[in-house]
Amino acid sequence: MQTYDLSTGSLRELNATLHAQNETTNQTAWEIMNPRGAHAIACGLDSPIEVTVRGSTGYYSAGMNQQATVNIKGSAGPGVAENMMSGKVIIDGDASQYAGATGHGGLLVVKGNASSRCGISMKGINIVVHGSIGHMSAFMAQSGNMVVCGDAGEALGDSCYEARLFVRGSVKSLGADCEEKEMRPEHLEILQTLLTEGECDAKPEEFKRYGSARTLYNFNIDNAY
Protein backbone atom coordinates (compact mmCIF):
# COMPACT_ATOMS: atom_id res chain seq x y z
CA MET A 1 0.00 0.00 0.00
CA GLN A 2 1.43 3.36 -1.10
CA THR A 3 0.33 6.31 1.06
CA TYR A 4 0.21 9.96 -0.01
CA ASP A 5 -0.66 12.77 2.42
CA LEU A 6 -2.17 15.84 0.77
CA SER A 7 -1.54 17.91 3.90
CA THR A 8 2.17 17.80 3.09
CA GLY A 9 2.32 16.98 -0.64
CA SER A 10 0.83 18.72 -3.66
CA LEU A 11 -2.16 17.56 -5.69
CA ARG A 12 -0.21 18.02 -8.92
CA GLU A 13 2.53 15.71 -7.68
CA LEU A 14 -0.04 13.13 -6.53
CA ASN A 15 -1.85 13.00 -9.85
CA ALA A 16 1.42 12.91 -11.80
CA THR A 17 2.54 9.94 -9.72
CA LEU A 18 -0.74 8.13 -10.28
CA HIS A 19 -0.61 8.89 -14.01
CA ALA A 20 2.86 7.36 -14.18
CA GLN A 21 1.48 3.95 -13.20
CA ASN A 22 0.88 1.45 -15.99
CA GLU A 23 -0.26 -2.14 -16.49
CA THR A 24 3.09 -3.50 -15.31
CA THR A 25 3.26 -1.50 -12.09
CA ASN A 26 3.76 -3.28 -8.77
CA GLN A 27 2.36 -0.27 -6.87
CA THR A 28 -1.26 -1.26 -7.38
CA ALA A 29 -2.80 0.02 -4.11
CA TRP A 30 -2.77 3.69 -3.09
CA GLU A 31 -4.19 5.49 -0.06
CA ILE A 32 -4.69 9.26 -0.10
CA MET A 33 -4.86 10.96 3.28
CA ASN A 34 -6.27 14.41 4.19
CA PRO A 35 -7.95 15.27 0.85
CA ARG A 36 -9.68 18.24 2.55
CA GLY A 37 -12.08 18.79 -0.37
CA ALA A 38 -9.38 19.22 -3.00
CA HIS A 39 -10.52 19.25 -6.64
CA ALA A 40 -9.66 16.72 -9.38
CA ILE A 41 -8.19 14.10 -7.03
CA ALA A 42 -7.31 10.90 -8.93
CA CYS A 43 -8.47 12.46 -12.18
CA GLY A 44 -7.43 10.99 -15.54
CA LEU A 45 -6.19 7.61 -14.28
CA ASP A 46 -5.44 4.97 -16.91
CA SER A 47 -4.08 1.86 -15.20
CA PRO A 48 -5.56 -1.05 -13.21
CA ILE A 49 -4.76 0.35 -9.77
CA GLU A 50 -6.93 0.85 -6.67
CA VAL A 51 -7.01 4.27 -5.04
CA THR A 52 -8.66 4.90 -1.66
CA VAL A 53 -9.34 8.51 -0.67
CA ARG A 54 -9.76 8.90 3.11
CA GLY A 55 -12.17 11.82 3.24
CA SER A 56 -14.39 14.04 1.10
CA THR A 57 -13.37 15.50 -2.24
CA GLY A 58 -14.12 18.59 -4.34
CA TYR A 59 -14.91 19.00 -8.02
CA TYR A 60 -14.31 16.33 -10.69
CA SER A 61 -12.77 13.60 -8.54
CA ALA A 62 -11.98 10.45 -10.55
CA GLY A 63 -12.97 12.22 -13.74
CA MET A 64 -12.03 10.57 -17.07
CA ASN A 65 -11.23 7.35 -15.22
CA GLN A 66 -10.03 4.33 -17.16
CA GLN A 67 -9.30 0.90 -15.64
CA ALA A 68 -8.77 2.14 -12.06
CA THR A 69 -10.95 1.54 -9.00
CA VAL A 70 -11.38 4.68 -6.89
CA ASN A 71 -12.94 4.47 -3.41
CA ILE A 72 -13.94 7.78 -1.82
CA LYS A 73 -14.47 7.31 1.92
CA GLY A 74 -16.56 10.45 2.25
CA SER A 75 -18.70 12.59 -0.05
CA ALA A 76 -17.83 13.97 -3.49
CA GLY A 77 -18.30 17.39 -5.01
CA PRO A 78 -19.75 18.21 -8.44
CA GLY A 79 -18.78 16.15 -11.47
CA VAL A 80 -17.40 13.05 -9.76
CA ALA A 81 -16.52 10.37 -12.36
CA GLU A 82 -17.31 12.83 -15.15
CA ASN A 83 -16.54 11.40 -18.62
CA MET A 84 -15.58 8.07 -17.06
CA MET A 85 -14.54 5.46 -19.63
CA SER A 86 -14.08 2.25 -17.60
CA GLY A 87 -13.19 1.01 -14.12
CA LYS A 88 -15.16 1.62 -10.95
CA VAL A 89 -15.78 4.60 -8.65
CA ILE A 90 -17.39 4.05 -5.25
CA ILE A 91 -18.53 6.91 -3.00
CA ASP A 92 -19.37 6.01 0.58
CA GLY A 93 -21.22 9.29 1.16
CA ASP A 94 -23.24 11.66 -1.04
CA ALA A 95 -22.46 13.00 -4.51
CA SER A 96 -23.10 16.57 -5.59
CA GLN A 97 -24.37 17.73 -9.00
CA TYR A 98 -23.88 15.91 -12.33
CA ALA A 99 -22.25 12.79 -10.95
CA GLY A 100 -21.19 10.50 -13.79
CA ALA A 101 -21.93 13.13 -16.45
CA THR A 102 -21.15 12.07 -20.05
CA GLY A 103 -19.73 8.75 -18.78
CA HIS A 104 -18.94 6.27 -21.56
CA GLY A 105 -18.39 3.13 -19.45
CA GLY A 106 -17.50 1.67 -16.08
CA LEU A 107 -19.53 1.66 -12.88
CA LEU A 108 -20.25 4.55 -10.50
CA VAL A 109 -21.70 3.61 -7.09
CA VAL A 110 -23.05 6.28 -4.73
CA LYS A 111 -23.91 4.78 -1.34
CA GLY A 112 -25.65 7.97 -0.21
CA ASN A 113 -27.73 10.40 -2.28
CA ALA A 114 -26.89 12.14 -5.55
CA SER A 115 -27.88 15.72 -6.32
CA SER A 116 -29.33 17.20 -9.51
CA ARG A 117 -28.39 16.12 -13.05
CA CYS A 118 -26.97 12.78 -12.03
CA GLY A 119 -25.99 10.88 -15.18
CA ILE A 120 -26.62 13.82 -17.50
CA SER A 121 -25.77 12.85 -21.11
CA MET A 122 -24.56 9.41 -20.00
CA LYS A 123 -23.15 7.42 -22.92
CA GLY A 124 -22.74 3.88 -21.62
CA ILE A 125 -21.82 4.28 -17.95
CA ASN A 126 -23.68 2.29 -15.29
CA ILE A 127 -24.71 4.24 -12.17
CA VAL A 128 -26.08 2.73 -8.95
CA VAL A 129 -27.36 5.15 -6.28
CA HIS A 130 -28.35 3.63 -2.94
CA GLY A 131 -30.31 6.75 -1.97
CA SER A 132 -32.23 9.33 -4.00
CA ILE A 133 -31.34 11.61 -6.93
CA GLY A 134 -32.20 15.22 -7.71
CA HIS A 135 -33.97 16.97 -10.58
CA MET A 136 -33.04 16.69 -14.27
CA SER A 137 -31.15 13.44 -13.74
CA ALA A 138 -30.41 11.40 -16.88
CA PHE A 139 -31.12 14.45 -19.06
CA MET A 140 -30.26 13.47 -22.66
CA ALA A 141 -29.00 10.10 -21.40
CA GLN A 142 -27.97 8.20 -24.50
CA SER A 143 -27.06 4.70 -23.26
CA GLY A 144 -26.15 2.81 -20.13
CA ASN A 145 -28.12 2.06 -16.97
CA MET A 146 -29.08 4.14 -13.95
CA VAL A 147 -30.33 2.38 -10.81
CA VAL A 148 -31.93 4.48 -8.06
CA CYS A 149 -32.88 2.69 -4.86
CA GLY A 150 -34.60 5.77 -3.42
CA ASP A 151 -36.64 8.51 -5.12
CA ALA A 152 -36.07 10.63 -8.22
CA GLY A 153 -36.65 14.38 -8.51
CA GLU A 154 -38.36 16.40 -11.22
CA ALA A 155 -37.92 15.86 -14.96
CA LEU A 156 -36.28 12.44 -14.80
CA GLY A 157 -34.92 11.32 -18.16
CA ASP A 158 -35.78 14.52 -20.02
CA SER A 159 -34.99 14.07 -23.76
CA CYS A 160 -33.32 10.74 -23.11
CA TYR A 161 -32.42 8.26 -25.84
CA GLU A 162 -31.73 4.56 -25.13
CA ALA A 163 -30.56 4.63 -21.50
CA ARG A 164 -32.43 2.40 -19.04
CA LEU A 165 -33.59 4.07 -15.81
CA PHE A 166 -34.60 1.89 -12.87
CA VAL A 167 -36.21 3.57 -9.83
CA ARG A 168 -37.44 1.79 -6.71
CA GLY A 169 -39.10 4.77 -5.03
CA SER A 170 -41.28 7.59 -6.32
CA VAL A 171 -40.57 9.86 -9.30
CA LYS A 172 -41.61 13.48 -8.79
CA SER A 173 -42.09 13.97 -12.52
CA LEU A 174 -40.87 12.62 -15.85
CA GLY A 175 -39.09 14.85 -18.34
CA ALA A 176 -40.02 15.37 -21.99
CA ASP A 177 -40.32 12.12 -23.94
CA CYS A 178 -39.66 9.90 -20.91
CA GLU A 179 -42.21 7.27 -19.94
CA GLU A 180 -42.60 4.20 -17.75
CA LYS A 181 -41.64 1.04 -19.66
CA GLU A 182 -42.40 -2.64 -19.32
CA MET A 183 -40.04 -4.54 -17.01
CA ARG A 184 -39.18 -7.71 -18.94
CA PRO A 185 -37.09 -10.69 -17.73
CA GLU A 186 -33.95 -9.39 -19.45
CA HIS A 187 -34.28 -6.11 -17.56
CA LEU A 188 -34.63 -7.92 -14.24
CA GLU A 189 -31.44 -9.80 -15.07
CA ILE A 190 -29.55 -6.60 -15.94
CA LEU A 191 -30.83 -4.95 -12.77
CA GLN A 192 -29.85 -7.87 -10.55
CA THR A 193 -26.31 -7.79 -11.94
CA LEU A 194 -26.01 -4.06 -11.28
CA LEU A 195 -27.42 -4.33 -7.75
CA THR A 196 -24.90 -7.06 -6.97
CA GLU A 197 -21.99 -5.08 -8.42
CA GLY A 198 -23.22 -1.98 -6.60
CA GLU A 199 -23.32 -3.82 -3.25
CA CYS A 200 -27.03 -3.19 -2.81
CA ASP A 201 -29.43 -5.79 -1.43
CA ALA A 202 -32.61 -4.39 -3.00
CA LYS A 203 -34.76 -6.77 -5.05
CA PRO A 204 -35.17 -6.15 -8.82
CA GLU A 205 -38.93 -6.75 -8.58
CA GLU A 206 -39.26 -3.61 -6.44
CA PHE A 207 -38.19 -1.30 -9.30
CA LYS A 208 -39.94 0.37 -12.21
CA ARG A 209 -38.22 1.01 -15.54
CA TYR A 210 -38.30 4.30 -17.43
CA GLY A 211 -36.97 5.24 -20.83
CA SER A 212 -37.54 7.13 -24.05
CA ALA A 213 -40.98 7.26 -25.67
CA ARG A 214 -39.04 7.94 -28.91
CA THR A 215 -41.29 10.77 -30.05
CA LEU A 216 -38.35 13.20 -30.32
CA TYR A 217 -36.26 10.98 -32.60
CA ASN A 218 -37.53 12.65 -35.78
CA PHE A 219 -38.27 16.24 -36.74
CA ASN A 220 -41.93 17.22 -36.47
CA ILE A 221 -42.98 20.36 -38.31
CA ASP A 222 -45.73 20.99 -35.76
CA ASN A 223 -43.02 21.60 -33.15
CA ALA A 224 -41.33 24.33 -35.21
CA TYR A 225 -41.86 27.98 -34.38
Query: The whole model's pTM is what?
Result: 0.95
Quick one: which H or E segment has residue 196?
Answer: helix 185-197
What is d(CA 88, CA 148) in angstroms, rounded to the nearest whole number?
A: 17
pLDDT attached to residue 160: 96
Residue 87: inside a domain: yes
Residue 222: inside a domain: no
pLDDT attached to residue 225: 62
Look at the chain and report how many structural domains it folds into.
Answer: 1
pLDDT attached to residue 81: 98
pLDDT attached to residue 223: 64
Q: Which domain holds residue 141?
A: 2-200
pLDDT tens digit sequence for 163-222: 999 999 999 999 999 999 999 999 999 999 999 999 999 999 999 999 999 988 776 767
Residue 128: inside a domain: yes
Residue 218: inside a domain: no
Residue 213: inside a domain: no
Residue 220: inside a domain: no
DSSP 34: -
pLDDT attached to residue 25: 78
Which parts of the chain have pLDDT scores under 70?
Answer: 219, 221, 223-225
Alpha carbon distances (Å) from 131 to 16, 24, 170: 34, 37, 12
pLDDT attached to residue 219: 67
pLDDT attached to residue 224: 67
Residue 117: inside a domain: yes
pLDDT attached to residue 27: 87
Residue 100: inside a domain: yes
pLDDT attached to residue 218: 72
Q: Which residues pair with 180 in a beta bridge?
A: 210
